[in-house]
Amino acid sequence: MEEKTVESIVNEGRAYACIQCGKCTGSCPSGRECGLRTRKVIHMARLGMDIYKTEELWDCTTCYTCQERCPKDVKITDIIIELRNMAVKNSFYPTMAEVPKIIIQNLYSTGNGQPLSPEVSKIRSIIGLNKEPLDASTNKDTLKKFQKLLDGLPLMQWGETQ
């Protein structure tokens, strides 16, 4: 697969069709509380600016309301996700991307983004569930294979460059 550029992301997500009507920003639940201006993100991407370097990109909750309502059918949320991928690839980790890194570490060591704590394990058995659920971490061989899969994926490479 070819390396993505801001230009290819703009084309794939049809951002060239944007008429800057702002319906996206007006619909954004996050933008009401912070500096994210979805319309501006799309405009900057269209102009070929390094939008992936801005921190606002990480204010999006990926709720898809903007994309849903865009009269020009611009794939706005998909574009934001691609731009985040690009930021990560170029090592532009904003401070708020630190915590998700822990989720990746959890994923690697337990197969779960949210691992099981001893407290919840106890609750599980109290309410009549297996103390530990069957999942990718139950069986050592399965976990090893899962980690082998992760080891070869781009996700882990970016984790290391940071």
Partner 1 sequence: MKVGVYICHCGVNIANMVDIPKVVEAISGQTNVAVCKEYQYMCSDPGQNMIRKDIEDMGLDRVVVAACSPRMHEPTFRATVADAGMNPYCFEMANIREQCSWVHEDKEEATQKAIDLVKSSVARASLLEPLQSTEIPVTHSALVIGGGIAGIQAALDIANSGFKTYLVEKEPSIGGRMAQFDKTFPTLDCAACILTPKMVDVARHPNIDLLTYSEVEHIDGSIGNFHVQIKKKPRYVDPDLCTGCGLCAEACRLKGRISSEFDMGIGKRGAIYVPFPQAVPLLYTIDPENCLLLKHGKCGKSPKCEDICDPGAIRFDQEEEHIDIDVGAIVVATGYNEFSPVVKEEYGYGKFKNVMTGLELERIFSPSGPTGGNPIINGTEPKNIVFISCVGSRDKRIGNPYCSRVCCMYIAKQAHLLKEKIPDANITVMYTDMRAFGKGYEEFYERVQKEGIRYRRGNAAEVYEEDDLLFVRAEDTLLGEPYELPADLVVLGTGLVPSPDADSIGQMLHLSRSADKFFLEAHPKLRPVDTVIDGVFLAGAAQGPKDIPDSVAQASGAASHVVNLLVKEKIHAEPIIAEINEDACVGCKTCIVLCPYEAPLYDDEKKVVTINRAVCKGCGSCAAACPSGSIKMNHFKNEQIVAQILEVI
Partner 2 sequence: MKYAFFPGCIAKNVYPGIEKATRLVSAKLGIDLVDYEYSCCPPPGVIACYDKDSWLTLGARNLSLSEKDNHDIMTICAGCYGTLHNVWHTLKQDQDKMEFVNEHLSRIDTEYKGNIRPVHFVDLLSKMRDEIKQNKEIDLDFRVAVHYGCHYLKPSDVTGENSEAPKILDEIVSLLGCESVPFKDRLTCCGAGGGVMSGEPDLSLKIIDRKLKNIEKADVDCIINICSFCHMNFDQSQKKLHAYDIPVLHLNQLLGLAFGFKHKHLGLHTNLVSTRDIVKKVKGAKRESMK
26 binds, among partner 1, partner 2, none (CB under 5 to 8 A by kind): partner 1
Contacting residue, 120, 140, 160, 161, with partner 2 by CB under 8 A: 120
The nearest distance, CB 80 to partner 1, in angstroms, is 16
CA distance readout (Å), 122 to 3, 37, 110, 127, 129? 47, 45, 18, 9, 10
Q: Is the Cβ–Cβ distance between 42 and 75 less than 8 Å?
A: no
* Contact string (CB under 8 A) for partner 1, positions 6-45, x = contact: -----------x-xxxxxxxxxx--xx----x-xx-----
Q: What are phi and psi of 132, to 5 degrees?
A: -120, 130
The nearest distance, CB 4 to partner 2, in angstroms, is 9
Q: Is 4 in the site for partner 1 (CB under 8 A)?
A: no
Contacting residue, 99, 118, 140, 160, with partner 2 by CB under 8 A: 99
Contacting residue, 44, 60, 74, 79, with partner 2 by CB under 8 A: 60
